[in-house]
Amino acid sequence: MALDAAALRKIAHLARLELSETELQAYGPQIGAILDHIGELRKLDVEGVEPLAHAVEIADVRRDDVPRPGLPPEAALANAPAVAGPYFTVPRILDQP
């Protein structure tokens, strides 16, 4: 089941990942071959089987509620590609022309 360019473009947009025309051409058949392989699971009878999300199931894990230092703002911002004061910056998202 090869993915056509339109379908790939839609998925790439959902993933916020720009794909070039060359990549759209190359990924179609590659991902198609992988989908053919993973599609084999459709032949299995899984009626009534509970899904398994985590192999070792432990739930509701809590730490003692003891305050401890968090990441200081300087450390949190240290790797940011663009900052303004204590903020991360992004292109304008409101009132776009």
Partner 1 sequence: MSDDLLYRPAREIADLVRSRKTSAAEVAKAFLERIRATDDRLHAFISVGEAPKGAAEGPLAGVPVALKDNLCTLEAPTTCGSRILENYRAPYEATVVTRLRAAGATIIGKTNLDEFAMGSSTENSAFFVTRNPWDLERVPGGSSGGSAAAVAAGQAAAALGSDTGGSIRQPAALSGVVGFKPTYGRVSRYGLVAFASSLDQVGPLARDVRDAALLMSVLGGHDPLDATSLPGPSPDYVKDLERDPKGMRIGLPKEYFADGLDPEVRARVMEALRRLEAKGAKLVDVQLPMTRHGIATYYIVAPAEASSNLARYDGVHFGHRTASPASLVDLLSRSRAEGFGPEVRRRIILGTFVLSSDRIDAYYHRAQKVRRLIAAEFEQAFKSCDVIAGPTSPTPAFRVGEKASDPLSMYLCDVYTVGANLAGLPGLSLPCGFTSKGLPVGLQIIGRVKDDLTVLQAGRAVERELGPSGKRPPV
Q: How many CA atoms lie within 13 A of 33 on its CB side?
A: 4
- Least Å from the CB of residue 85 to partner 1: 15
CB atoms within 10 A of CB 31: 16
Contact 50, 63 (CB under 8 A): no
- Least Å from the CB of residue 64 to partner 1: 8
Residues that bind partner 1 (CB under 8 A): 3, 8, 11-20, 23, 27, 30-31, 33-35, 37-42, 44, 46, 49-56, 58, 61, 63, 71, 75-76, 78-82, 88, 90-91, 93, 96
